[in-house]
Amino acid sequence: MDGLHPEEAEPPATPRFNKIAFVSSGADEARTAARRLIHTYGTVKLDEADVVVALGGDGLMLETLHNRMEKGTPIYGMHRGTVGFLMNDFREEGLIERLEKAVPTRIKPLVMHVLDTDGNRHFARAINEVSLYRQTYQAAKLELWVDGTIRMKELIGDGALVATPAGSTAYNHSAYGPILPLNANLLALTALNPFRPKRWRGALLPDRSEVRFGVLDAIKRPVSAVADHTEFRNAVEVVVRLDRDRSMVMLHDPDHGMEERIIAEQFAAAALG
């Protein structure tokens, strides 16, 4: 008889994810899904988990990634919210098997340093983008430095942003910035409704670059600096770079990976005619 003898058979593989923690958004369908999944699969505290299953939309995924950034726990999202670009399809059955087959995507955040008009310094990280916005009806007036070299003495408009590849399909894409493959080693620098120079949409920069914005006439033309959901107002200077000391892991079903969705997103507008 062909095959291994019983004593020669390989032991079953040890599951990667024995301890699952569930988090959900405040939406009724997300909370209901969490209760049903906890009843079926059990749950542990977040700090004890091998994996976190997030039930909601992209906002919850970003929040969960931020919350687990220091520990680095993998996050597997299932769509029970509004926007679900970062999420897997929702199904109650077969969760353990899906987790074991999931493909990891490792992403690094941006780090933002802000100096405000009162001389205070602030710090935050962003998974999607760091954005500068005008606070009033007055257009923002910015100067732009890249790696210590001034590249633009005056950018006038609603503001500007720096996006990671993971965040390039979010606000950056809505502002007509480029979509970046996850392995591109690039950052997208995108202008927000530029008045001057006209038609300048932005630039692609190596992800080792340090971008510094100086806010010109900051009292008359106040500007906010925002790292994902963290906002500091009345900025005078904003410095942005990739944080190479931190990384986060998202898990996706093999047929629903981030690389494929980012490529598909670039052709979505054409598919609509």
Which is the CATH superfamily of the domain at 20-107+247-271? Probable inorganic polyphosphate/atp-NAD kinase; domain 1 (3.40.50.10330)
Average pLDDT for residues 139-168, to the nearest whole number? 96
Q: Domain coordinates of the chain in residue numbers?
A: 20-107+247-271, 110-242
pLDDT band at 6 (very low <50, low <70, confident <90, very high): very low
Instruction: Name the CATH superfamily, with its identifier, for domain 110-242.
Output: Probable inorganic polyphosphate/atp-NAD kinase; domain 2 (2.60.200.30)
Which of the following is catalytic: 2, 28, 50, 58?
58
First to last CA, the chain: 60
Tokens 């976190």 sit at which residue? 52
* Structure tokens given for 134: 């005008």
User: How confident is the model at residue 228, as a pLDDT?
Assistant: 94
Q: Per the annotation, does 58 bind a ligand?
A: yes
pLDDT band with cut points at 50, 70 and 90 for residue 79:
very high
Question: pLDDT, tens digit, for every residue of 113-145?
Answer: 999 999 999 999 999 999 999 999 999 999 999
Q: What is the pLDDT of residues 162-205, one digit of tens each?
A: 999 989 988 999 999 998 988 889 999 999 999 999 888 899 99
Please check if 13 is assigned to a binding site.
Answer: no
Say whether 110-242 and 20-107+247-271 share the same fold.
Answer: no
Q: Is 174 annotated as a binding residue?
A: yes
Q: Is 128 annotated as a binding residue?
A: yes
pLDDT at 52 over 90: yes
Mean pLDDT of all residues belonging to the chain: 89
Active-site residue, 58 included: yes
